[in-house]
Amino acid sequence: MEGYIPISYLNDFIFCPRSIYFHQLHGELSTRLYHDKPQIEGKAAHTTIDEKRYSTRKNIFQGIDVYSEKYRICGKIDLFGVEAGLLTERKKHITNIYDGYVFQLYAQYYGLTEMGYDVKSIRFYSCDDNKTYPIKLPFEDKKMQKAFEDTISKINSYDLKNFIQTNNKKCENCIYEPLCDQSLC
């Protein structure tokens, strides 16, 4: 959807805005050219959702497109149990709940609620260790809600030429580091 921010950009932008540029630069190239083991394993963990094979129950939505007109964000959800109102974002392995993860879940929440669904709870699921991590709904955590909205505003006004990365660890863990002329490594 033109003019909409892909949900995945929320986490990418917080990690490093330049990563979005490099991701777009690769376009339709095979991800084998630049993905490392964590990205390959994460994509494999999503296969059942992407192919809609996680569940055959009709009241479990899997991998459906959502968008929020209010925030101009679009993307896909992982799982939504319609009767329970439970939105679940699956991750291969969770060691930390990053703000970008939460913002992706918020975007999915808003997409579903604007479509008329009653989302009662949101959570993360870590596939490797079978753990769930409940997250407060946006209206229950005003600080995170404001950070979510601020991040969207920053994405909408971002200028690649004026960004300077200051976190060496992010560069060390970036799959695009070898291509980046601003890398701290």
Per-residue pLDDT reduced to its tens digit, 60-83? 899 899 999 999 999 999 999 999
Most confidently predicted of 14-18, 33-37, 123-127, 162-166 = 123-127
Q: Residue 55: its pLDDT value, please?
A: 60
Rg (CA), the chain: 17
Q: Residue 68: its pLDDT value, please?
A: 97
- The correct answer on CATH 3.90.320.10 for the domain covering 5-179 is yes
Q: Residue 41: its pLDDT value, please?
A: 56
**pTM, full prediction:** 0.81
Dihedral of alpha carbons 66, 38, 179, 30, sign: negative
Per-residue pLDDT reduced to its tens digit, 98-152? 999 999 999 999 999 999 999 999 999 998 999 999 999 999 999 999 999 999 9
Q: Average per-residue pLDDT in the chain?
A: 84
Q: Residue 2: its pLDDT value, please?
A: 64
Give residue limits of the domains in the chain: 5-179
In terms of Cβ atoms closer than 10 Å to its own Cβ (0-12, 13-18, 19+), residue 33 is exposed
Starting at the earlier edge strand, list the strands of the sheet with 86-91: 60-62, 79-81, 86-91, 121-126, 131-135
Q: Residue 33: its pLDDT value, please?
A: 47
Contact 10, 103 (CB under 8 A): yes
Q: Residue 57: its pLDDT value, please?
A: 60
* 23: Cβ contacts below 8 Å, ≥ 6 apart: 12, 176
